[in-house]
Structure formats: C-alpha cells, structure tokens
Homo-oligomer: A and B are copies of this chain.
Amino acid sequence: MAEMKKYKAGRMIMGRLEHGADLLEEITEICRKEDIRMGRVEAIGAVSVARIGFYNQDTHEYQFFTIDQPLEILSLAGNVSIKDGESMVHAHVVLGDKEGKAFGGHLAAGTIVFACECIVEILEGPTLERGLDEKTGLPLWNI
C-alpha cells in the first residue's frame, strides 16, 4: 500500500534564481537558508546547459548525461525532504530545445540557469527522511 502523511500547506516563497547559478544547488540553498524541511517545488525558465539523470532500474545506477545547448525549462516538479539531516531537493525536469522537442530526467547539479521563476511551497507536518530502499536501490522515504 501507499504510505502517505498529512500536511498543512499555504505558505510559499516565489522569486527568480540568479543568471548563471546552478539550478539544483540554488533551490537547495534557498530551502536550507529558509529552513524549509518539507515542501514541494516547481519552476519554469530556461537553462544554458542541462545535466540530467536516468535511473537504470536493472543495475540500480543513475546514468547522467549533459545536454549542452540552450533549453527552455518546460516544467520542474519536485519535493523537499530530509537526507543525512539536511534539506534535500528531489526534482525532475522537462526541457525543450529550439525546435520544440522535449527531453528530461532527474535534475542533477551542472544545470545552469539562464532565467528561472521558482516556487517553493512549505509543508507543515511529519518530517520524511530518505534512506536506502533495498528493492529499488533508491534513497526513498522511510515512512
């Protein structure tokens, strides 16, 4: 069965990320600075280069790749929770190239902001902590 927890939401921070910043690291830094431990995150914008991952479900390893060209951030969706005692952002992105073709994956460090408008919604309730899930090999929530 799914394991779900209840939260109170309704407080958000919204703004723009710095040109040239690392997309994942910047959102992570915002969460840590604002002491956001549980949340949801979304963004649109553009990047000058992207680094994204695909999780190999057989070998249990991420395969990372770089798309070294300007791309629109068509969607960034994710959450904030705790890993190793610190706020950790888990986000997936959909990116669009100059012909409109869409790509995407697990957002990794190395994705550089051209412009980005970001929302983080703060969740009040039980803290979810990530630990190794043996079935998938992923750092999932210990619920």
Residues of chain A having any CB pair with chain B under 8 Å: 1-19, 21, 26, 29-30, 34, 38, 40, 42, 44, 46, 48, 52, 54-58, 63, 65, 67, 70, 72-75, 77-79, 90-94, 96-106, 114-115, 117-121, 123, 128, 133, 135-136, 138, 140-141, 143
CB contacts (< 8 Å) of A44 on chain B: these are 77-79, 90-92
A133 to B48, CA, bound (A): 17
**Chain B residue with the shortest CB-CB distance to A73:** B92
CB contacts (< 8 Å) of A67 on chain B: these are 100
A95 to B136, CA, bound (A): 18
Query: Could you give 27 example pairs across A and B, Cβ below 8 Å?
Result: A2-B17, A2-B30, A3-B15, A3-B16, A6-B12, A7-B12, A10-B10, A14-B40, A14-B79, A16-B140, A44-B77, A44-B79, A44-B90, A52-B96, A55-B114, A57-B70, A58-B70, A65-B99, A67-B100, A74-B75, A74-B77, A75-B94, A79-B117, A90-B117, A100-B103, A102-B103, A115-B136
Known: A12-B9, A94-B94, A97-B54. A74 touches B2 (CB 8 A): no
Q: Is the CB of A141 within 8 A of B123?
A: no
Q: Is the CB of B100 within 8 A of A104?
A: yes
